[in-house]
């Protein structure tokens, strides 16, 4: 217990100190929200990765999908690395950085408003962002509480409140720069921690081959009659596994708190370095989490899962570890959760202030007032998420993965296609964006309240979210072809950002008229 407490005290003291130190970077809107658009590749890559992976992944998704698909759940982690990180950086990183700076956009809703010259589109995007980030935030607390309860026997409400207060302190004080620096430290903890935990857990069953052999012997007639499926390449249910891969990987392309990381990156070189670092981080952390969860059936019984839910699987796997490793696990998951929480609350408060309140409710807001309002909203948003998390836990409404699935599905389904096409295609129309917004939000809200009316494949929030993302990629170009074309001057102005001439070193480009 002493070791655990000492590590936690050091952990919290360090992050709060960094938050206070970074106050000088958060005196204006650009500094508070984007770190002055001068954040280097390593900080950006780790900020992207730590915002991506939280207790939802480690406790909720790893447990649930490892139980359902066995070791094949590792595909979800690899999808996160190569679709959700590598391809996202390659496709979105550079263009997002260039166009958002050209449009002087600090948030995703602001991008929609300026790119399509639609104040209504901007307001709608800000409302969708705020509403659907709430269940995601609540799910972070739930996953963390399971491990704190195991390690310290602390009441869930205490865990939630302490985590919320401490995260709020360093985000409110230091803004994006404090979040980015802390994310880097938290990311290093996650990298070391996940490797140590995997080795320890598998070693408790005699090593990898012994654990794999045990998994090959696991059977569950309720899932499949075929022996060895939980240790097979694609698992017992490859179709639903594909839905998990798509939602958790492509989903990042449309999540405001993820895409906004590209707004702040420093330079062209930073994007190349960040792509590699972010992919490596995702392979280790996401791949490791799902790989570990894939062995859940040799640690937990069906009766334990029926009683405690899927969220109890990973804590059960970890409960027999030595105290020092339990302490590492707690710090690991705390790091993952606090980094994601800080990103979510910063995104929500900045979106509500800059895109909804400024110019609509309060007509005249100077820089200092905007930053002040964002800090107030940070407190309010954290308080709301804490209340929802505690109520959800007491009433046991749903699982962690379902909360995250609804949130990711609505946000990514609504924003992915309009944002992607907005960066690349001049023919994208505001009406097409509206159709994408409405389709995904209506489908995901309906999935909450009338889930039984959906086709069997889409009753899962995971599959419904993946369906919304794919549908958006079809809806946006189709509607754009049959609706009024955007103003040519507006489009040319936005895309002029890609044609701006810059001076580069001779090693990167030849001067006009020279031959290689």
Average pLDDT over residues 406-411: 86
For residue 514, what pLDDT band results from cuts at 50, 70 and 90? very low
502 is a domain residue: no
Task: Report the range of poorest mean pLDDT among 95-99, 216-220, 322-326, 430-434.
Answer: 322-326
pLDDT, position 153: 67
d(CA 228, CA 213): 9
pLDDT digits (tens, 9 = 90+) for 244-253: 888 888 888 9
Task: Report the range of poorest mean pLDDT among 386-395, 408-417, 442-451.
Answer: 386-395
pLDDT digits (tens, 9 = 90+) for 80-92: 999 999 999 999 9
88 is a domain residue: yes
DSSP string, 33-91: HHGGG-B-HHHHHHHHHHHH--HIIIIIIHHHHHHHHGGGGHHHHHHHHIIIIIIHIII
Task: Report the range of poorest mean pLDDT among 20-24, 299-303, 463-467.
Answer: 20-24
513 is a domain residue: no
d(CA 472, CA 30): 31
**How buried is 490 (Cβ within 10 angstroms: 0-12 exposed, 13-18 middle, 19+ buried)?**
middle
Statement: residue 512 has pLDDT above 70: no
CB 291 within 8 Å of CB 198: yes
Statement: residue 43 has pLDDT above 70: yes
pLDDT, position 515: 44
Which range marks the domain in which residue 199 is found? 2-496
* pTM (2 d.p.): 0.84
d(CA 291, CA 202): 11
CB 368 within 8 Å of CB 396: no
For residue 142, what pLDDT band results from cuts at 50, 70 and 90? low
DSSP string, 391-458: HHHHHT-S-HHHHHHHHHHHHHHHHHHHHHHHHH-TT--HHHHHHHHHHHHHHHHHHHHSGGGS-GGG
Statement: residue 429 has pLDDT above 80: yes
Average pLDDT over residues 70-82: 93
In this structure, what token pair is assigned to residue 180? 């980015």
Number of domains in the chain: 1
Statement: residue 335 has pLDDT above 80: no
Statement: residue 422 has pLDDT above 90: yes
55 is a domain residue: yes
pLDDT digits (tens, 9 = 90+) for 156-204: 777 778 878 888 888 888 888 888 888 888 888 888 888 988 998 899 8
For residue 124, what pLDDT band results from cuts at 50, 70 and 90? very high
97 is a domain residue: yes
20 is a domain residue: yes
Could you give the angle at which helices 94-102 and 256-263 cross, rounded to 10 degrees? 80
Give 87-152 as a 3 state SS string.
HHHHHHHHHHHHHHHHCCCCCHHHHHHHHCCCHHHHHHHHHHHHHHHHHHHHHHHHHHHHHHHHHH
Average pLDDT over residues 227-242: 87
505 is a domain residue: no
CATH of the domain at 89: 1.20.1730.10
Statement: residue 227 has pLDDT above 50: yes
Average pLDDT over residues 428-436: 96
510 is a domain residue: no
């Amino acid at each position: 217990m002493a070791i655990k407490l000492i590590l936690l005290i050091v952990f919290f003291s360090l992050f709060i100190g960094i938050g206070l130190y970074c106050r000088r970077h958060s005196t204006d809107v650009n500094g508070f929200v984007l770190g002055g658009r001068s954040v280097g590749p390593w900080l950006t890559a780790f900020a992207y990765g730590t915002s991506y992976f939280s207790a939802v992944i480690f406790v909720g998704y790893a447990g649930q999908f490892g139980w359902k698909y066995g070791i094949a759940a590792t595909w979800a982690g690899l999808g996160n690395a190569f679709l959700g990180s590598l391809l996202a950086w390659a496709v979105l990183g550079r263009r997002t950085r260039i166009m958002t700076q050209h449009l002087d956009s600090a948030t995703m809703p602001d991008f929609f408003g300026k790119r399509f010259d639609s104040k209504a589109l901007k307001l709608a995007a800000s409302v969708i962002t705020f509403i659907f980030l709430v269940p995601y935030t609540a799910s972070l607390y739930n996953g963390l509480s399971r491990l704190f309860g195991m390690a310290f026997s602390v009441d869930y409400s205490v865990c939630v409140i302490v985590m919320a207060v401490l995260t709020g302190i360093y985000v409110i004080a230091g803004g994006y720069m404090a979040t980015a620096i802390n994310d880097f430290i938290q990311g290093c903890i996650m990298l070391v921690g996940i490797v140590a935990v995997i080795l320890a857990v598998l070693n408790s069953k005699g090593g990898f081959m012994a654990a794999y052999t045990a998994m090959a012997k696991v059977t569950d007639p309720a899932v499949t009659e075929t022996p060895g499926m939980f240790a097979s390449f694609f698992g017992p249910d490859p179709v639903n596994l594909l839905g998990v891969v798509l939602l958790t990987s492509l989903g990042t392309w449309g999540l405001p708190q993820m895409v906004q990381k590209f707004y702040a990156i420093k330079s062209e070189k930073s994007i190349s370095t960040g792509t590699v670092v972010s992919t490596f981080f995702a392979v280790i952390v996401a791949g490791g989490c799902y790989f570990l969860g894939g062995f859940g059936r040799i640690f937990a019984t069906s009766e334990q899962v029926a009683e405690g839910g899927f969220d109890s699987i990973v804590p059960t796997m970890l409960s027999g570890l030595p105290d020092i490793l339990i302490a590492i696990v707690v710090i690991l998951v705390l790091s993952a959760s606090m980094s994601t929480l800080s990103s979510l609350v910063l995104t929500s408060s900045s979106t509500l202030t800059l895109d909804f309140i400024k110019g609509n409710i309060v007509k005249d807001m100077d820089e200092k007032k905007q930053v002040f309002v964002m800090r107030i909203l940070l407190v309010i948003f954290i308080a709301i998420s804490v209340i929802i998390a505690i109520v959800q836990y007491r009433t046991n409404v749903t699982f962690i993965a379902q909360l995250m699935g609804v949130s990711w599905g609505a946000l990514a389904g609504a924003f992915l296609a309009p944002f992607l096409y907005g960066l690349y295609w001049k023919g994208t129309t505001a009406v097409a964006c509206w159709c994408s917004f409405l389709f995904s939000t209506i489908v995901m809200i309906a999935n909450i309240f009338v889930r039984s009316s959906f086709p069997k494949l889409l009753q899962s929030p995971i599959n419904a979210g993946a369906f919304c993302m794919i549908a958006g990629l079809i809806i946006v170009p189709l509607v754009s072809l049959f609706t009024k074309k955007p103003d040519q001057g507006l489009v040319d102005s936005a895309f002029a950002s890609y044609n701006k001439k810059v001076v580069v070193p001779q090693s990167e480009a030849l001067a006009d008229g020279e031959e290689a």
